[in-house]
Structure 1
Amino acid sequence: MEWADFLANEAAINSLSPEQTAAFVERLKTENSGKSEAKLASELNIGAAAFKKRMAEVYEKFAKSFPELATSNSRGKLEKLRACLTAKYNGGQDAQPTIKEIHQNIPPAVPFEKFVGREAKLEELHQKLQKKLQTSRQVAIVAVAGMGGVGKTELATQYAKQHLQNYQGGVCWLSAQGIDVSIQILRFAELKFKLIAPDDWELADRLRYCWQNWQQGEVLLVFDDVNDYKKQVQPYLPPESSRFKVLLTTRLGFDRTLPQLPLGVLKPLAAMKLLKSLVDRERLKSEAWVARRICKFLGYLPLALELVGRYLDTMPDLSLEKLLKRLEKKRLEHEAVAKANPLMRYEYGVAEAFALSWEQLDENAQRLGCWLSLYALADIPFSVEAIEDDEQELYEKAIAQLQKLHLMQWQSKGIYRLHPLIRLFFQMKLDESSSADEVKTAFVAQMLEVAKQIPQQPKREDIFNLIRHIPHIGEVATHLSQYLSNEDLILPFRGLGHFYYGQGLYQQAERWYKVCVEEAKNRLGLEHRDVATSMNNLGVLYQSRGRYNQAESLFQQALELTKHLLGDNHPDVATSLNNLGLLYQSRGRYSQAEPLFQQALELKKHLLGDNHPHVATSLNNLGLLYQSTGHYSQAELLFQQALEMAKHFLGDNHPHVAGGLNNLAELYRSTGRYSQAELLYQQALELRKHLLGDNHPDVAASLNSLAVLYQSTERYSQAEPLYQQALELSKRLLGDNHPHVANSLNNLAILYESTRRYSQAELLYQQALELRKRLLGNNHPHVANSLNNLAGLYFSTGRYSQAEPLYQQALAICEQTLGVGHPDTIKVRGNYARFLREAYR
């Protein structure tokens, strides 16, 4: 018996845990005698303290067999244990009785320290096999089941080796795919126990003779790679006796009557540990992030990880980044995963391993696997109930086959998943078929129907219903866009943009809106209506993020293109006019915005009639402009008309209605009608939370608006938590660099100044000013507002020399951008005049 096997036996005899066994074996290996505990701990990928603790536990357990260990110091314990074990191994006079030979034919296994991530599974398997059964004479049977390449055989091998001492009656390893199993059993009995039954007996009688005369002690029978329990296992089981334990490895999923140990892929850390056992540590350390990406690409499948690890070991100059790119391009056809390494006991590459299961599928199951491979690598919503009645049973059987062979995982009712490499395998099989284009076209058409259901401003209910489909629409947009017709080209991109934009997830939305513009230009040419639509959508997003110059350029291009393609009288022209007007209003260019809003309103009325949701939108926009320019009575009338129209067409529960309530509340607050404003603000906030959820930019805006009202009425304790919530929510959703964040900083600073917390207020005013300058430019009304507020703080705290230039800058900006008669200009001028009276009297 080899020293390593002897150590494994001793670990089993002394009931060491898998973790203790790893530390024990590593510490007592001959080649490690000169290494420090810290070095060995590093090789086991654990801390030095953890290694020391495990070895202390080992000494404690071995002290039951070698009492002299109890009185030795730390270093002495190691040397004493080594001496005792060496003597026992050599059969010396001071050793324990020589270990009785246990007959076995276990195949070679990887060293225990390289068998990672399965410690808990080994323990669970042992517990299942040793569990006391209701009938004491019953044979214990456990099936280790999982997809090809997951390491079922290696788990069984490691278990048999590590627990050899538990099976004094021997371990008989049987290949279900080899020669007849009965012949394998008879040969083992003959070679190991000299049991030879007469040749003229029936096979069943010869097997019975072997079982009856089998060596005493518990016996482990391993049936490896079973794909037909009834033919490959059942006829050869020993008569009922609790000393016989049967372990199966199989790709099949049996029903619940047979105890099973499902074996999945490795955890990410264990996958990295496996890779480290095969590839130089420093090499992995230098490209650690890429190594993790390789593990993820391989789906943490042990077979694939070992193949790639061994491949990298033979290519010392190949960077991990380059290998990952090649794997992503060639996928399962790359030689790193396509062929078995000659040093490995496993004889298949990844695709070959999966092919063994593929060949057991019927045509319907194969077809379904190929269809599912077109979905993204995410939860797949696939409901049989949505299929026509006469085909439901076929699909149910196909799903059952895929699940039974572990080619698909059930997540929850109607939700499934594919392993990343199984998905690539199915895609490969689909591309080999003559119907590949037809299948992909049908899949794209199905996803388009879902994309069409995404509204421009999705509500919480919409998000809940659509979220599981979003990754798969993204898969169509990213990898299957060639199967989109010109007419439908922008639908998935636009739908994805709307889905994220409507939730305030602007970064994700930008990606899809930008790709939409690029795809439309490349496929449809520069002069196409969908190009203008795509530019408008991207422009709206840029405006929301405060990137006004980019937005203005897109809006102007879209307006010019729309007029050129559709003429001056078209709803799309009204949309472009409206978008450009909103941008000008955002930048304080009211004189340019007003005629655009009026043109858009007249055009919509002319084309759609006086009563239409789009007309209500234009009324609201024009009302906002009038409010900004101090024309409150005109604004109020427009807001009221727009709100009534929105309720009539959209119902009381709609984001546009919440926006209308908020606009009217803002007007009431501006004109001192606080009780009316408060009621509408609260209604708008509750409606937005109900429709959009608590985490949405519109909810942050409502919180901010209500806080402004409370501050205006000196209810500071109510205002402050709302400001803080709004600021935190805006930062989390929009990022630190956004005009809404600057507004929240400014408003909270006003509150701090009102409650005489001047140092806190000054810091926030300065932050808001710098942010507004950076995002909006130096000559913007919001910058003037920040300058005015900071000047007021300096004035209040007697720092006149700092206040005066800020007042002058603020007034100059207001007069230039808003005009001398604008309410904001008048307010700043009044503040400056009061400062001059006080400062120089």
Structure 2
Amino acid sequence: MVEFVGREDELQTLHQMLQENNQVAVAAVAGMGGLGKTELALQYAMAHREIYKGGICWLLAKAEDVGIQIVRFARTQLDLNPPENLTEDPNQKLLAQVQYCFRLWREGDVLLVLDDVSDYEQVKLYLPSPSSRFKVLMTTRQYFGGIAKLSLDVLQPEAALELLKSLLKETPGRIEKELAVANQLCEWLGYLPLGLELVGRYLARKQDLSLTEMLRRLKEKRLDERSLSKSKSEGNMTAQRGVLAAFELSWQELEDEDKQLGCLLSLFAAAPIPWKLVEQCLPEEDAQDLEEIRDDSLLNLHLLQRKGEGIYQLHPLLREFFQYQCTGLEQVEEFKRSLCRVMVAVAKDIPEYPSLKQINAVTPAIPHIGKVAKDLIQYLSDDDLIWAFFGNARFYNGQGLYEQTLPWYEQCIEVTKKRLGEEHPNFALTLNNLALLYKSQGRYNEAEFLYLQALALRRCQGGEENPDVAESLNNLAILYELQGRYSEAELLCLQALELRQRLVGEEHPDVAESLNSLAGIYDSQKRYSEAESMYLRALELRRRLLGEEHLDFATSLGNLAYLYQSQGKYGEAELLSLRALELRRHLLGEKHPDFALSFNNLAALYELQGRYSEAEPLHLQALALRRKLLGEEHPSVAESLNNLAKLYYLQGRYTESEPLYLQALEIFEQRLDANHPHTVKCRKNLANLRDEY
């Protein structure tokens, strides 16, 4: 016997719903096929049979007229024999007999179960009067307005695993041996009780079949996998159908327009779906008509779930079922093209460096952009091809989640090269973006190789007088500055600045970027007066062109603050640093590498002023953030280690300082080189420390 797990709270709630009303308590145990509605009703009846002294009457709503079933039950189980002549109206004969049976029913409370009700109006006529001792429990796939409703959801992951274990208890240890796969199996089945029971029983019969192989078969054959069909040997199951057959019952109740909408929804990723995206996929359809189909058909039949305001989701197996039905739908190809069009438009709206507000706004769309990149790129035009990948890359990169960004750019390079070839401008653009990512990860040598490749391609494609060439020159200059190659960096940055001024004019964000880059190169060489002039020009341009609520403006504030700090202008530096910190907190949140940079710079400022107690927690926070976001081997982590070590050195805490210097030096030597300015400085710091004791 299979254990009944995961529904203890629902059983208790159901009992309370049926008992708390003196009138008839009609509790609709609603939900899509396979959730175990009938099993829950059965378990409730078995658990509480002692309190229903008048008996439990179980009726199959779809099998036969409910009135006929009630009269038959009364005759066979209660020895009642309702007369034929209770009324002269032949149309009221059956109703009169039902009422007669209710009046003479055995004493005590009665539980009347109506299983699988599809039309409430057809059974309402036969229900007992509100003042009677009868309790009525219905199971249904639909929603009946005005009736107390207990809506079943899928099982919780722990309960789903427990159900699977109970089905395989004859082979102990089988789940534990492949525990991770067992959890994946439950997830693939969407924690649906019917799917879990069918697959569990199938595995119980196939004792040599591993869970890994079972999962592989499900992924390959989907709903056609035989384990999801009910075996003739499973006579003790409450459910009478397999998954496909169970869903088919609801499918048959849908109109053509309902089915089309269901198929469109199944093309989205297996994630919550913003309804506005669905409407955009069907621009010629009336929004109110779509809403009616959604609410009156798909939601009413529990084929779709509302997850929040404007957010809906298909159960994973229902999504499989709708895709299964899509194969015979002539509109499916157009639906795929429409979905791609909408998701590309969303991707193009994601800025290269999105703010936290923009990230939160686009988050619900991200899985669906990824779905297009994974499964539907053949429906994208050549010009739109990169955006299925760029959308997700910008989303993750904008949060400083570089490891999650990487596969999107790598896949984009592979796909772009295969379809468009290496001579296409978008291939060079993708190389450039991957190089930017490598730079952010501290992978400077790999970044340089890609930058040079992108620059060469752009020169071939558009000649020297090309904004893309200017971008590549500027990016390469920034990289060289990070590598301590200042003379090369300055030359390239000046070329980029001159080219941008000539192509786009003085009043352009690209010019501000080049000014900021050149200022950074001068700052690194302690050419402070030149750096200040450039930083101020960049700051003013960004203020005027982008506004003071822009990430680039925050960057300019932080850079100018760091310069003033180097010049000993501590008051001005602190004011700008705090402003940059708050702006980054507002725009990026507190889990971003740039926010860690603000901590680092402010800590360095306090340290120079001898405000060690204020500097230390900031250094520690910067180090922790950088380790978490960038990994242990990133040059920025080495910078934080070096800075914290220096703070401890200044406080005379030499034993705490030395191991930090050693860690920083090892990273600098590995990720930069032995002669990089950062490496040289760290080595000198360590030598000074050792001279002290």
TM-score per shorter chain, which class?
Answer: over 0.9
Verify: 1:286 aligned to 2:181, yes or no: no
The Cα of 1:737 is off from its aligned counterpart by: 2.5
Give the Cα separation in 1 of the matches to 2:182 and 2:673: 44
- Which letter does structure 2 place at the counterpart of 1:382? W
Verify: 1:126 aligned to 2:21, yes or no: no
Could you say which residue in structure 2 is the equivalent of 1:647?
Answer: 543
The Cα of 1:339 is off from its aligned counterpart by: 4.2
State which of 407, 411, 421 in structure 1 corresponds to 2:317.
421
- Which letter does structure 1 place at the counterpart of 2:439? Q
Which stretches in structure 2 are left out of the alignment for 5+ residues? Answer: 87-92
Could you say which residue in structure 1 is the equivalent of 2:35?
Answer: 150
Which stretches in structure 1 are left out of the alignment for 5+ residues? Answer: 1-109, 798-841
Give the Cα separation in 1 of the matches to 2:130 and 2:361: 54
Could you say which residue in structure 2 is the equivalent of 1:211?
Answer: 102
8 Å CA contact 1:307, 1:341 repeated in 2: no
Could you say which residue in structure 2 is the equivalent of 1:825?
Answer: none
Q: Deviations over 1:44-97 (max 9, x none)?
A: xxxxxxxxxxxxxxxxxxxxxxxxxxxxxxxxxxxxxxxxxxxxxxxxxxxxxx
Give the Cα separation in 2 of the matches to 1:655 and 1:588: 25
Could you say which residue in structure 1 is the equivalent of 2:604?
Answer: 708
* Structure number with higher relative contact order (C-alpha < 8 Å, ≥ 6 residues apart): 2
Verify: 1:459 aligned to 2:355, yes or no: yes
8 Å CA contact 1:149, 1:303 repeated in 2: yes
State which of 182, 186, 193 in structure 2 corresponds to 1:302.
193
The Cα of 1:774 is off from its aligned counterpart by: 2.9
8 Å CA contact 2:38, 2:238 repeated in 1: no
The Cα of 1:714 is off from its aligned counterpart by: 1.0
- Which letter does structure 1 place at the counterpart of 2:15? H
Give the Cα separation in 2 of the matches to 1:565 and 1:239: 83
- Which letter does structure 2 place at the counterpart of 1:757? R
Verify: 1:575 aligned to 2:464, yes or no: no
Give the Cα separation in 2 of the matches to 1:140 and 1:653: 58
Verify: 1:242 aligned to 2:147, yes or no: no
8 Å CA contact 2:39, 2:238 repeated in 1: no
Verify: 1:595 aligned to 2:484, yes or no: no
The Cα of 1:754 is off from its aligned counterpart by: 0.7
Q: 3-state SS of the aligned residue for 1:281?
A: coil
The Cα of 1:196 is off from its aligned counterpart by: 1.6
Could you say which residue in structure 2 is the equivalent of 1:331?
Answer: 222
Structure 1 pair 672/140, CA: closer, same or farther in 2 (3 Å)? closer
8 Å CA contact 2:120, 2:144 repeated in 1: no
Could you say which residue in structure 2 is the equivalent of 1:359?
Answer: 252
Q: 3-state SS of the aligned residue for 1:238?
A: coil
- Which letter does structure 1 place at the counterpart of 2:125? P
Could you say which residue in structure 1 is the equivalent of 2:89?
Answer: none
Q: Deviations over 1:385-425 (max 9, x none)?
A: 97879813211211112111111111222111211111111
Q: 3-state SS of the aligned residue for 1:173?
A: strand
Could you say which residue in structure 2 is the equivalent of 1:377?
Answer: 270
Q: 3-state SS of the aligned residue for 2:523?
A: helix
Could you say which residue in structure 1 is the equivalent of 2:90?
Answer: none
Give the Cα separation in 1 of the matches to 2:681 and 2:445: 21
Verify: 1:115 aligned to 2:8, yes or no: no
State which of 54, 65, 81 in structure 2 corresponds to 1:169.
54
Give the Cα separation in 1 of the matches to 2:129 and 2:579: 76
- Which letter does structure 2 place at the counterpart of 1:305? L
The Cα of 1:778 is off from its aligned counterpart by: 3.5
8 Å CA contact 1:585, 1:625 repeated in 2: yes
The Cα of 1:558 is off from its aligned counterpart by: 0.9
Q: 3-state SS of the aligned residue for 2:125?
A: helix
8 Å CA contact 1:708, 1:719 repeated in 2: yes
Q: Deviations over 1:671-726 (max 9, x none)?
A: 22222222222221122122222222111111111111111111112211211221
Verify: 1:252 aligned to 2:142, yes or no: yes
Give the Cα separation in 2 of the matches to 1:314 and 1:560: 63
The Cα of 1:511 is off from its aligned counterpart by: 1.8
Could you say which residue in structure 2 is the equivalent of 1:690?
Answer: 586
8 Å CA contact 2:263, 2:332 repeated in 1: no
8 Å CA contact 2:68, 2:94 repeated in 1: no
The Cα of 1:586 is off from its aligned counterpart by: 1.1
- Which letter does structure 2 place at the counterpart of 1:119? E
Could you say which residue in structure 2 is the equivalent of 1:806?
Answer: none
Verify: 1:273 aligned to 2:162, yes or no: yes
Give the Cα separation in 1 of the matches to 2:253 and 2:218: 27
Give the Cα separation in 1 of the matches to 2:539 and 2:130: 81
8 Å CA contact 2:38, 2:115 repeated in 1: yes
Segment drifting more, 375-384 vs 447-456: 375-384
Amino-acid identity (%): 50
Structure 1 pair 487/762, CA: closer, same or farther in 2 (3 Å)? same
Verify: 1:397 aligned to 2:292, yes or no: yes
State which of 337, 346, 355 in structure 1 corresponds to 2:239.
346
Give the Cα separation in 2 of the matches to 1:341 and 1:550: 61
Q: Deviations over 1:707-757 (max 9, x none)?
A: 111111111122112112211222222222321111111111111111111
The Cα of 1:437 is off from its aligned counterpart by: 0.8
Structure 1 pair 473/388, CA: closer, same or farther in 2 (3 Å)? closer
Could you say which residue in structure 1 is the equivalent of 2:504?
Answer: 608
Give the Cα separation in 2 of the matches to 1:611 and 1:139: 76
Could you say which residue in structure 1 is the equivalent of 2:423?
Answer: 527
8 Å CA contact 1:221, 1:245 repeated in 2: yes
Structure 1 pair 772/567, CA: closer, same or farther in 2 (3 Å)? same
- Which letter does structure 1 place at the counterpart of 2:272? D
State which of 532, 547, 559 in structure 2 corresponds to 1:636.
532
Verify: 1:738 aligned to 2:634, yes or no: yes
State which of 156, 176, 186 in structure 1 corresponds to 2:71.
186
8 Å CA contact 1:125, 1:261 repeated in 2: yes
The Cα of 1:179 is off from its aligned counterpart by: 2.1
The Cα of 1:314 is off from its aligned counterpart by: 2.4
The Cα of 1:317 is off from its aligned counterpart by: 2.3
The Cα of 1:241 is off from its aligned counterpart by: 4.1
Q: 3-state SS of the aligned residue for 1:449?
A: helix
Give the Cα separation in 1 of the matches to 2:466 and 2:450: 19
Q: Deviations over 1:247-278 (max 9, x none)?
A: 101011122x2111111111111101111111
Segment drifting more, 172-181 vs 332-341: 332-341
The Cα of 1:794 is off from its aligned counterpart by: 0.4
The Cα of 1:132 is off from its aligned counterpart by: 4.0
Verify: 1:627 aligned to 2:627, yes or no: no
In angstroms, what is the RMSD of aligned CA positions?
A: 1.8
Give the Cα separation in 2 of the matches to 1:530 and 1:317: 51
Q: 3-state SS of the aligned residue for 2:111?
A: strand
The Cα of 1:361 is off from its aligned counterpart by: 1.9
8 Å CA contact 1:749, 1:764 repeated in 2: yes
8 Å CA contact 1:623, 1:636 repeated in 2: yes
The Cα of 1:166 is off from its aligned counterpart by: 1.1
The Cα of 1:669 is off from its aligned counterpart by: 1.6
8 Å CA contact 1:563, 1:573 repeated in 2: yes
Verify: 1:441 aligned to 2:337, yes or no: yes
Give the Cα separation in 1 of the matches to 2:567 and 2:238: 83
State which of 655, 678, 684 in structure 2 corresponds to 1:759.
655
Structure 1 pair 574/388, CA: closer, same or farther in 2 (3 Å)? closer
| TM-score of the two chains, using structure 1 as the length reference | 0.79
Q: 3-state SS of the aligned residue for 2:327?
A: helix
Segment drifting more, 462-471 vs 314-323: 314-323
- Which letter does structure 2 place at the counterpart of 1:168? K
